[in-house]
A and B are shown apart, each in its own frame.
Chain A
Amino acid sequence: MGQTLNRAAQWTSVSDGGEGKLEFTPANEAILNDIIKFVENFPNKHPKEARIVFKNPLVWKTSLEPSAFTGEYDHSDDAVKSKDKDGSDTPLLTLQKLGELNFKLHVSSLVFLAEVMKVAGEKKMLEARSILEANRDPVVNILGDGFATVDGEDNSTIRLLEQSSKEEGDSKDETQTKLTLLLIIQQFDMQLMNQTLKKITQDVRLTPQQANQEVKLLLSFSGEDKSNALESIQFTSDYEFDNGCRAPPWRQIHGDICYLMIKPHDGDQLSVTANTAGVYLNKGFEKEGAELNYEREGEVHKDLVSLLSSKSRHFQEVITSKEFQLYEEKKEDGDLYEEEFEEEDVGDKAVIEKKETKEQKQDKNTKKQTRRTKKKEETGKQMQPTLNWKTEELNKTNEKKEAKENKKHSRQASERKTKTPAFEEDMSDSSSESEEEEESTDRRQEQNSDLPSEYWQIQKLVKYLKGGNQTATVIALCAMRDFNLAQETCQLAIRDVGGLEVLINLLETDEIKCKIGALRILKEISHNTQIRRAIADLGGLQTMVDILKSPNKDLKCLAAETIAHVAKFRRARRTVRQHRGIRKLVALLDCAPLGSIPMTQDVEKDIEVARCGALALWSCSKSTKNKLAIRKAGGIPLLARLLKSHHEDMLIPVVGTLQECASEHSYRLAIRTEGMIEDLVKNLNSENQELQMHCASAIFKCAQEKETRDLVRMYGGLDPMVALLNSSENKELLAAATGAIWKCAMSPENVTRFQELKAIELLVALLNDQPEEVLVNVVGALGECAAQEPTNRMSIRKAGGIPPLVNLLTGTNQSLLVNVTKAVGACATEPDNMGIIDRLDGVRLLWSLLKNQNPEVQASAAWAICPCIENAKDAGEMVRSFVGGLELIVSLLKSEDKEVLSSVCAAIAKIAKDEENLAVITDHGVVPMLAKLATTTDDKLRRHLADAIARCCMWGNNRVAFGNHGAVAPLVKYLKSPDVDVHRATAEALFQLSRDPNNCITMHESGVVAPLVEMVGSNDPDLQEAAAGCIGNIRRLALANEKARSK
């Protein structure tokens, strides 16, 4: 039974030096049952072997009483001994009294073990359990240490066999019996193992991949339209861990993979947990913005489809009818782009749609069948998922597929819709939701399970807390601290026996000792999320905030530290603020100057109070309103003072708070003006990685402002940042350091320093195998460096940075994509780089990002496309090769986002350089769309729009068309803009447009001449020329007109 006990049985963790306990699980129960049966029948089956005397007796604490043993036993006052004795005259069974109702049992043969089982009667299970808990490897006791269960090869049996063959006479006989016993036990062990294995394999195990796949599948089947199975399905968290889970790490321990919000067409929104053990409903969000209640509701299903089928009739109906289509579409997912850009088939669509509806009327079953067969044919041809466009013609698909295409469009739209809410997260918190402490399942002790002994002891102590005077209370509090309060069993035991209420009540008394004792316990147990919640629910935060005013410094420290632990979730932070806790916490920061001499105990205590205050503020500062409150309470100068400290204990919470608050502009300004940058830079050189990390992320957030960046450079902060790039082990630190570099690289002077430090090479090396948080910053930094300094582009190429950058274009992380496109765009300005990008098909990837639903990504991709077109060889041919690409980019002119419009205009201006492409985009209706934008007041857009218009005039009668669509008059107004770039582009556009007489008339009417004449005097030759050309055209028309009239 050794192996089974070692491997299959589920033990509780062996913490605090005690022995592990068998968990109360069905699997263990089965094992125990089998062992009991084995032991009970053993003396009957193998009488000889059963009489073997154990090497060491099995000893355990028993619940049996002496009176239970009758017959062949000697009873004495405090012991029961069996009359049977072994060779050295020790009784084979001894029951020893340890204390009242507390006995210890020594048993040294299987006969007596079976006897004990018989005596135990109903308590068999309990006995067997305590035997095994006390003797993890019974075989060792029975046969000796040589037979301990070991992993891998075990040759003890062979040894024994050899021994028995060597020996003679009696001892040979004995060894042989031993051998038989060992074999029997090993056989039994094998049997047990087989059984448990069978049970384990029956359990449902869901993997993150399976879960994600299923969600993706269902996503493709959701939409507002009733024909879809679901209205919406989405993850509660956008962040996906490396292992594919989306549940926060402390929930992953419980097997949670992700949480889903699913809205069926017939019923309320369902909040679902996907666990490795299966899928089940959880209690959902109590209210908007609150934390998820992880507790399970209802039964566990093996997958989402079966869960939803049981919850929603509509889902069930639709899913059974669509089962195959669903599957099929998923397989084709990759071909999506190809289909969308396929123009040839569009015409047939209407016809096919009719067919489809007819078909739908048919009997469901036949339909399914036909689909099934057709599907088989199709998938054979089309299973080549790719994110890129294929230049080659798609193989003609049958009617079915085009019909679906239509659906797919609508599905895509709905997909976009369902995804957006994820971005509309409550932005009041600076840290992402996944960092938040969310509700964890309330695991109250189950009534039936065995409660640990600590539970009863704690219950007794709580009783003394309730019913004792000050002295007894203090004793109980001290005694309670002797338990391992870091252990969840103890934490929950205190809560479950009503200890939290008492502890919090104690805080309201006048007894300082009781308050200190209670706070010390609360401080420890508030590491547990459930306890935090309970403390907040019981109003503990209010009391602790009141204690912050106490004259007793120990109390202040403890209260602040406990608040720091509790205020890890939003509601608690709000409570602290609403009870004016922030002001009181800020007041704690006001201690004597750190370097004050002499350093008396009093001063030290004050500094400790300040440290605890900073800790609490750190926790609280995750809420925007609290940041404001800290500032209003005058916290910034105090933090600035504490920042001069030399103690890491102090610096970490202070910098942590600053870092958290630096998301606010007012703080960034204050950090700069209060001279904190110097200290932050100084601490970048600290030994402590956590401190370095917070400093770096504070700089990361602050360096959005130019003055700050200059200060960082002045204080020599760039060197340590680059040095931090080598700390590749600590990803958080790496993310913060790369972030700081990214932001600092926005200043050209900093870029020069980074160049000297060879930061580019280090950054490029970080492009591989890093988590996304790091990658975003690394790529951002590279983008900035490349954009500002041409030599850097070369450095990136030489360091081999371009292929990984282009590879990253296939990612999904939005902020990463924005940075990658920027970086690729910056690199593309160098013709040599462009060659590599082109070879890696980077432009195609950029182009496909125009389809991203995030406008930021779209814009950034469009900007990146501009230098690509400019520098690529055969750019026109390349652009044409993207099937449907031109239509796509023109369609983006419908966007609402100014940045997208500007970038697309810029791209169109480049595209239009190629005449053939210009013809195509003209066909796609680029002229009216550009004309529609002409009324804008945004200078950036105006400039690129004017550029685009100028270029587009070159084809056919586009000039006339622009005039007809009313683009000319608004353009004239651009000349009043203060921006010279706008003037130049506009003048160029007007010059092109002025070749059409009607346009000249419109311009003249709009008063174009005066500003143009002025611009002729400009220093910019391009502007001069364009303005003069335009005036010339207008003048020529007038002359011609006069001539005609005079004739």
Chain B
Amino acid sequence: MSTIAPVNQPTQPHDPDNGPATTVIKSWKAPIVLGVFTVLGFLLLVVFGRSGVSTMSLSTSSDLIQLPDVLLPTRETGIVVTVLLAAITGVSVWMVQSSRKVPIWLYSVFAFLLLLGFLAWASADERIPVPGLLFGSLSLAVPLIFGALGGVISERVGVVNVAIEGQLLAGAFTSAVVASVTQQPLLGLLAAMIAGVLVSFVLAAFSIKYFVDQVIVGVVLNVLVTGLTGFLFSQLLAPNKALLNQPPKFERINIPLLSEIPIVGPVFFRQTLIVYIMYIAVAAVYFGIFHTKWGLRLRAVGEHPQAADTVGINVTGTRFWNVSLAGAVAGLGGAYFTLGSVGAFGKEMTAGAGFIALAAVIFGRWDPIRATLAALLFGFASNLQNVLSIIGSPVPSEFMLMLPYLVTIFAVAGLVGTSRGPAASGKPYIKS
């Protein structure tokens, strides 16, 4: 798929001042992908286009400022979107031909248009509540974001964290039990963090102290936590539901003023305490990793542990405690399942969220902000499926259930390509 075209031919073969020559490898990946989606869009929106009017409501009934609904004629919207998609594909062909890189914003515009067209098509003669769609996306993304933050911290310090799933599940279980018994959701939150740290201890001890393959320890831990919580659930929680599995949920807190901003307010500022903690956590992890001593040392240990060692940094200790911290953060995500959304523990209730979080870490290229955005994307894909099944979309629900995972595979495999993670991630540091 790539053609090599050497430029900078050595007209002066012995010129030492020329920098290393480069060749532009034309990659037709972008136009092909965009082209395929344009054809799919054409088939769905025009050939199998539906007629009617799609309604998108932008405000909830409790909003102070009421925005009018947006009415889109379904078929016409589909045609306009398809034409625009084809135009963007054309632009990308032109860009590759003239050896230019297709900018990321062009992909974003393309994705947005495709999404808009799909929503309009799916909601012919129906109403899509946009704030509700986004609110649900954020809710579903919360545990993913906590999990991804835990993943970022752990991988940046050099330990692959496949055990996010186990940390989430342990957090969910423990917070449910502790909050039920004490009737204190805050204590449940604390317990979830401790549970995550305990799972991390096992991961850290085996991978850092005993040099066991980190991925294998992670997988085994996930199986262990799934089995353990499942057993305790059926033996203890199910028979004693009132005592052990009826935790008080966190109340929603409306932030004054901010919560009244149209669309943004209801989505971001009418949330529970855990979500607000998450906002702070994302900012704190970002600032910490890139602007503090802690982060500099953490990254150094994950990139080149021997170099860190030679400037007097304790590699083993740094890894151990940061993997533990990662567990605490992921544990918080687990608490959201029981104290934030569902309100009780259920067997295997995390349902693979830990693995999606891991995908978000890679899709986000080990950057806390980008990983958060990736988690939000996955949350959106999940919630889109919920909303469309409620309004009765013509797409089979089985197919819609695949959506979040399809998005994950496309995002990680297709868009990321080969991104470079921390150099020493997954490699034990063995001092001779």
**Are chains A and B native binding partners rather than an unrelated pairing?**
no
